[in-house]
């Protein structure tokens, strides 16, 4: 493997122990995946932020790395935390959890990482360009950056993303290389895709079948950025899909053919769409939207649906801090709160200790929430946005 | 005595009794981070302590948080002294690097008997009879 003089100096410890440790990680990954060289990265998204997942070992590690002089060289943003960093007390998180969570955030900030705390960095100022090499963790953001923007990243883990931020490099393998971005699996969509949840169902179904392949969707005539965000997030959760193409819609599939001549074809029809479901009936404690974090448009739609209604179940919309601030200015926060719901920034139901708040059964319109909350042992209902709002009003779900 | 050649993932020297697993190991949720005891139900190493051993296994598995679990084991003095695997994947490799545990991969692990005295020196693995 070829290292530049500067990269070798980092590895030899000439830039201090924090940078050396980061370069050791990058070089080890390059070796494991037989990369011939490293490439400079334009931006980084770091995952592994919730204290629920990191624990005390994680805090200790991050503080030590910051102490050793690890500082980011490129724009770097953070994944969701385990709570709303401002309104945690009001929502019911404990002082102890909050104290630890804020310690985690401070360690990241010491490295120069922006405390965006969102899984949608591309809606909060971290926007790569087409063709940029980046090192992103957070599977849904990886999928969005690769597929919708046409930037290039593998699915990074927490420490490897930080290592890229500190060295400004990643190993050139996987989705950084042209040949690995071609699809050998066409997914022919014949089902109607109307609601956001339909895109979630398509992603969920595809991820389960194609695991870590590159799907090439045909038969989708239009899709908004929000719908593509849902499609990719769900496919990344039920499988490990990091890149997909939509014929005529996503940028690489517009510029040239990204489907190999020799490919297999799957069909997603109405039956397949119906096969993606949660529990059929029961009491609903919590309805949660915003997985990935809701955009302003999604918030607007949800606000118009709950406007003037009285909600029996709790309703959360999880989103990023900037979108929450804009929702407040636009009066959407007031509308949602008057109905009895709330906007939760910085966190989500997957990484926050939601069980400790007493919730057991949750209704969602996101395929990613369906996947993770089911695996965490909740009773999960899955349906379109209006059906979820209806469940919040009645406190019940009926298929 | 036999000498095996592997590839260095984390440079260093280590010595100890081999603890060999025929199955992959995932640290997060499967190894108690405070005691070093394997807790995964049905795992060949279930109930055994990895502390101070030369841990020999095919490859890693599971959550990426496993790298942080290895770091915590090291801080508690319950980490393996060294790691030998057939095939590296990022979770164990990153865990070994951030925790400072000498690690070698691409080793024919069938040549390492459980309980044997093993030395790791860079990419060389020496197994005593």
The answer to whether A384 and A195 have CB atoms below 8 angstroms apart is: yes
Query: Which of B8, B68, B71 is most worth mutating to test chain A (most A CB atoms within 10 A of its CB)?
Result: B68
Domain span holding position B122 = 2-128
The proportion of chain A whose per-residue pLDDT surpasses 70, expressed as a percent, equals 100
Options B63, B67, B99, B110, the catalytic residue? B63
> Across the interface, do A158 and B33 touch by the CB < 8 Å criterion?
no
Residue A388 and residue A369: Cα distance in Å, rounded? 13
Q: The domain at A282-397 falls in which architecture?
A: 2-Layer Sandwich (3.30)
The dihedrals phi and psi of A369, each to the nearest 5 degrees, come to -60, -40
Closest CA to B71 of B31, B98, B52: B98
Question: Is B63 labeled as catalytic in the residue annotation?
Answer: yes
Q: Which residues of chain B are within 8 Å of residue A54 when distances are taken between CB atoms?
A: 65, 68
Q: Which B-chain residues 65-124 have CB contacts (< 8 A) with chain A?
A: 65, 67-69, 71-72, 75, 88-91, 93-94, 97-98, 105
More confident call, A396 vs B27:
A396
Q: Is A331 left (phi over 0), alpha (psi -120 to 50) or beta?
A: left
pLDDT for residue B30: 87
Q: Output the pLDDT for position A145.
A: 98
For A93, the 3-state DSSP assignment is: coil
Residue B97: which of A24, A48, A157 has the nearest Cβ?
A24
Does residue B7 sit at the A interface (CB-CB below 8 Å)? Answer: yes
Mutate to test the interface with B, among A159, A162, A164 (most CBs of B within 10 A): A159
| Residue whose pair of structure tokens reads 């997603």 in the numeric block | A268
Which of A50, A56, A57, A376 to mutate to test binding with chain B, by most B CBs within 10 Å of its CB? Answer: A57
* Separation in Å, CA A121 to CA A80, A116, A197: 10, 7, 22
Angstrom distance (rounded) from CA A333 to CA A301: 12
Average pLDDT over residues A271-286: 97
Inter-chain residue contact B91 with A157, CB threshold 8 Å: yes
Say which DSSP state A335 is in: H
Q: Which two tokens stand for residue A172?
A: 């050139």
CB A287 within 8 A of CB A362: yes
Model pLDDT for residues B24-74, shown as the tens digit of each residue: 998 987 899 889 999 988 999 999 999 999 999 999 987 777 898 899 899
Q: How much is the pLDDT for A381?
A: 98
pTM of the model: 0.91
CA-based nearest residue in chain A for residue B9: A28
Give, in words, the CATH class of A5-176: alpha beta
Q: How many domains would you assign to chain B?
A: 1
Query: In whole numbers, what is the pLDDT of chain A averaged over residues?
Result: 96
| Terminal C-alpha separation, chain B | 5
So what's the pLDDT on residue A355? 85
Q: Residue A274 CB: number of other CB atoms within 10 A?
A: 10
For residue B65, the chain A residues in CB contact (below 8 A) are 48, 53-54, 58, 158
- Residue A318 sits at φ, ψ, to 5 deg, of -90, 135
Are the beta carbons of B94 and A25 separated by less than 8 Å? Answer: yes
Flag whether pLDDT at B124 surpasses 90.
yes
pLDDT of residue A168 exceeding 90: yes
- CB-based contact A60 B75, cutoff 8 Å: yes
Task: Give mean pLDDT, residues A112-140.
Answer: 97
pLDDT computed for residue A5 by the predictor: 98
Contact A137, A236 (CB under 8 A): no
Q: Decide if pLDDT at A349 tops 80.
A: yes
Would the CATH topology of A5-176 be identical to that of A282-397?
yes
Integer Rg of chain B from CA: 13
- Check CB contact under 8 Å for B98 and A56: no
CATH number at residue B49: 3.50.30.10
Q: What percent of chain A is modeled with pLDDT above 90?
A: 92
| Per-residue pLDDT, A171 | 98
Name residue A40's beta-bridge partners: A169
- Output phi, psi for A136, to 5 deg: -115, 135
For residues B2-17, give the mean pLDDT.
Answer: 96
Look up the ipTM and state it.
0.79
pLDDT in tens, A199-224: 999 999 999 999 889 999 999 999 99
Which positions in chain A touch B33 (Cβ < 8 Å)?
Answer: 55, 57
Quote the CA–CA distance of A54 and A49 in Å, as a whole number. 7
- Which class for B49: exposed (0-12), middle (13-18), buried (19 or more C-beta within 10 A)? middle
A262 exposure class (CB count in 10 Å sphere: 0-12, 13-18, 19+): exposed
Cross-chain CB nearest to A57 (options B64, B75, B88): B75
Query: What does the pLDDT read at residue A307?
Result: 98
Give the residue-averaged pLDDT of A351-365.
92
- CB of B18 within 8 A of CB of B113? yes
Calpha distance A180→A90 (Å, rounded):
47
Dist CA A98 CA A84 (whole Å): 9
Question: Residue A89 pLDDT more than 80?
Answer: yes
List the single residue in B10, B65, B105 with the smallest CB-CB distance to A53. Answer: B65
CA distance A175 to A172: 8
Rounded to an integer, what is the distance from CA B102 to the centroid of its chain?
9
Closest residue of A to B94, CA-based? A25
Domain extent listing, chain A: 5-176, 182-274, 282-397
Cβ-nearest to B94 among A57, A60, A160: A160
Confidence of residue A1 (pLDDT cuts 50, 70, 90): confident
């Amino acid at each position: 493997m070829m290292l530049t003089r500067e990269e070798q100096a980092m590895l030899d410890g000439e830039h201090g122990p924090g940078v050396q440790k980061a370069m050791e990680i990058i070089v080890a990954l390059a070796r494991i995946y037989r990369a011939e060289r490293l490439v400079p990265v334009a931006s980084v998204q770091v995952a592994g932020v919730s204290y629920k997942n990191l624990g005390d070992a994680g805090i200790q590690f991050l503080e030590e790395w910051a102490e050793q002089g690890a500082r980011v060289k490129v724009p770097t943003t953070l994944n969701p935390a385990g709570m709303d960093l401002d309104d945690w007390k009001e929502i019911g998180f404990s002082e102890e959890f909050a104290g630890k969570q804020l310690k985690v955030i401070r360690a990241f900030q010491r490295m120069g990482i922006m405390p965006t705390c969102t899984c949608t960095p591309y809606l909060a100022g971290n926007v790569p360009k087409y063709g940029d090499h980046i090192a992103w963790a957070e599977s849904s953001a990886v999928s969005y950056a690769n597929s919708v923007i046409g930037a290039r990243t593998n699915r990074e883990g927490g420490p490897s993303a930080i290592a890229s931020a500190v060295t400004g490099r990643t190993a050139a393998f996987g989705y950084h290389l042209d040949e690995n971005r071609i699809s050998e699996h066409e997914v022919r969509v014949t089902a109607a895709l109307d609601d956001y949840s339909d895109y979630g169902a398509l992603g969920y179904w595809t991820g389960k079948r194609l695991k870590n392949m590159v799907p090439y969707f045909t038969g989708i005539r239009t899709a908004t950025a929000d719908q593509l965000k849902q499609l990719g997030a769900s496919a990344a959760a039920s499988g490990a899909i990091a890149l997909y193409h939509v014929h005529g819609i996503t940028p690489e599939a517009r510029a040239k053919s990204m489907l190999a001549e020799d490919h297999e074809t799957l069909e997603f029809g109405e039956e397949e769409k119906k096969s993606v479901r949660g529990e059929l009936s029961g009491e609903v404690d919590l309805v949660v939207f915003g997985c990935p974090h809701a955009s302003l448009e999604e918030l607007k739609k949800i606000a118009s649906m709950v406007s003037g209604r009285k909600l029996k179940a709790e309703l959360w919309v999880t989103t990023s801090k900037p979108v929450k601030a804009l929702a407040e200015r636009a009066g959407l926060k007031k509308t949602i709160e008057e109905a009895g719901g709330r906007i939760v920034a910085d966190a989500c139901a997957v990484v926050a200790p939601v069980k400790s708040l007493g919730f057991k059964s949750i209704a969602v319109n996101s395929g990613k929430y369906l996947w993770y909350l089911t695996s965490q042992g909740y009773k999960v209902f899955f349906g379109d946005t209006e059906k979820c709002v209806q469940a919040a009003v009645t406190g019940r779900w009926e298929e | 005595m036999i000498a095996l050649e592997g590839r260095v993932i984390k440079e260093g020297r280590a010595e100890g009794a081999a603890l060999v697993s025929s199955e992959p190991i995932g640290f997060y949720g499967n190894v108690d981070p405070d005691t070093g005891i394997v807790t995964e139900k049905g795992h060949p190493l279930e109930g055994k302590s990895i502390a101070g051993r030369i841990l020999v296994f095919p490859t890693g598995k599971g959550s990426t948080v496993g790298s942080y679990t290895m770091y915590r084991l090291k801080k508690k003095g319950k980490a393996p002294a060294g790691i030998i695997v057939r095939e590296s994947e990022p979770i164990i490799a990153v865990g070994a690097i951030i925790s400072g545990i000498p690690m070698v991969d691409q080793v024919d692990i069938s040549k390492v008997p459980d309980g044997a005295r093993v030395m790791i020196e860079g990419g060389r693995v020496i197994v005593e009879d």
